[in-house]
A and B are shown apart, each in its own frame.
Chain A
Amino acid sequence: MRDYLDDRSLRLRRERSDQPASARPFVLAGVLCLVALSLIYLDQQGIISPLRMLLQQAFSPAALQLTGLRNHTEDLIGAPRSEDDLRATITALEQEVSQLKAENLRLQQAQVENESLRQQLQIQREQPWHLVGAEVTVRPPDAGRQVMLIARGSADGVQVGMAVIGQDPSGPAALVGVIESVGTHTAEVLLITDVSSRISARVMHAGQAHLGLVQGQWQRGSRLSIGQVDRSAAISPGDAVVSAGLTGSLNLQLDLATVPANIPIGSIEEINPGGQGQSAELRPFVNPDQVRYVWVILNQNE
């Protein structure tokens, strides 16, 4: 094991030594800092991004396996432990199974598709979207940005700016994020909760739709907010918010401006009056932190 930790043997000091480290390691560290800064610059210019994407793709299968292992472990840990919990779970499951059987009989389904495909079919039946399903491979290790990697790329028709949706078991299919960059078999998704994510949206209230701009708030301690809603517009907690499909026409400095209209985003939790327009805190229909499987909207029927 020691050989893997070091390439040279290391003798730990037993006696006190007042001999400080020389300047040589600090010079090396300084040089490496300059190399790192140069790499950042080159990556931001897009010169070495393809190389990074290629390496990312090479690690993707292993990351997918490990993420699956983690999800499986999470499920095991989250499973009920006490006898009462188990009984309650069994009762709930029996009711659910019963309902599912009845539904299956009504619809004369011969067999049950796997959950992800079934969800995809259901979404495609209800919405005019052409979807491609994708597993979430890696989530960011840092608190700074809300992004995730998915196991689909340009080879599957995925392009920058496409909307990515997910679905919680009890909720509608809803917007999770937007494709930010694409490799051949992987893509990075900027989550709607990231502070740099801005999507044009409509607040649905009593048959009327009021325009606004949904922005991520994760780095500010919450999830989502909607702003720039007309002060005279009547909105109230519980109102649904859907994408407006107008992000491009709002003239924002964004590559991510091709989100189709009418994708559910969330519901209004708390209204903050004041300023030139109204703003409100939103509760997203799908928690982007929890999704394990998502769908990319490739295009929609006109």
Chain B
Amino acid sequence: MGYILLIGVLALVQVTLLRTPLGFSAPLLLVITICRTLIGMGAAFRDIGMVQGVRWAFYSGLMLDILAATPLGTHAFALLLATITVAFATRRLRIEGPLLPLLAMLVASLIYESVMALLIQPGPVMWGDTLRVALIPGTLLALIMTLPIFFLLRWMLRA
């Protein structure tokens, strides 16, 4: 229950304090969810680690939907798809060093932003414009936040 409250606070911080001049917020919960999944996949019991990542994705998504006035389940679905992809791709890999978290975040962010565009943009998605306005800036923001959050989370979970 404690972590659901924490997710609520983080979601509030994302939609209010972390708004950028680009017109959207820094994807804090996406980054935390993916980092949490990666750390879980590097744990002794991968199943438990991945389940925790998946639960973070689902609850974070629902919280963002409530705060962002999007249909309930939209963010949750996008986050779940990104998390499943990262978990599947890294299921046999050893997660050490900065390269893998960055690559995982690149893939996850592109999936997340693309699914969000498909789900919430009215009419057919104009991919060229979406790439320029949402995908590239959103992914860059996520990549910038990845390493500090990944190493901080890993340190906190080991402590």
Contact = CB atoms under 8 A, between A and B. Distances in A.
Contacts of B157: 2, 5-6, 10, 12
Interface stretch (A108-116, A135-143, A152-160, A244-252): A135-143
Given A2-B157, A63-B15, A219-B130, A141 B69 contact: no
Contact of B48 (A10, A51, A140, A145): A10
Interface residues of A, number: 69
Nearest to A55: B66
Contacts of A140: 15, 24, 68-70
B48 A37 contact: no
Given A36-B73, A144-B117, A195-B122, A67 B134 contact: no
B101 interface: no
B3 A7 contact: yes
Nearest to A14: B44
Scoring A18, A32, A142 by chain B CB atoms within 10 A of each residue's CB, the highest score goes to: A142
Contact of A142 (B8, B70, B122, B154): B70
Contacts of A145: 70, 120-122
Contacts of A138: 15-16, 67-69
Interface string A32-71: 1101111110111000100110011001001100110110
Contacts of A63: 12, 15-16, 67
A207 interface: no
A195 B121 contact: yes
Contact of B80 (A1, A29, A66): A29
Interface residues of B, number: 81
B126 interface: yes
Contact of A13 (B44, B76, B113): B44
Given A2-B156, A12-B154, A138-B15, A29 B83 contact: yes
B151 to A, nearest CB: 13
A51 to B, nearest CB: 8
Given A10-B52, A29-B83, A36-B61, A141 B132 contact: no
B72 A21 contact: no
B47 A33 contact: no
Contacts of B100: none
A20 B132 contact: no
A8 interface: yes
B63 to A, nearest CB: 9
A12 B80 contact: no
B159 A2 contact: yes
B123 interface: yes
A19 interface: yes
A144 B71 contact: no
A12 B24 contact: no
B66 A56 contact: yes
A218 B84 CA distance: 31
17 contacts: A4-B5, A4-B6, A10-B157, A11-B43, A17-B46, A21-B87, A25-B54, A29-B50, A55-B66, A66-B16, A69-B16, A138-B68, A140-B68, A141-B15, A141-B68, A146-B23, A147-B69
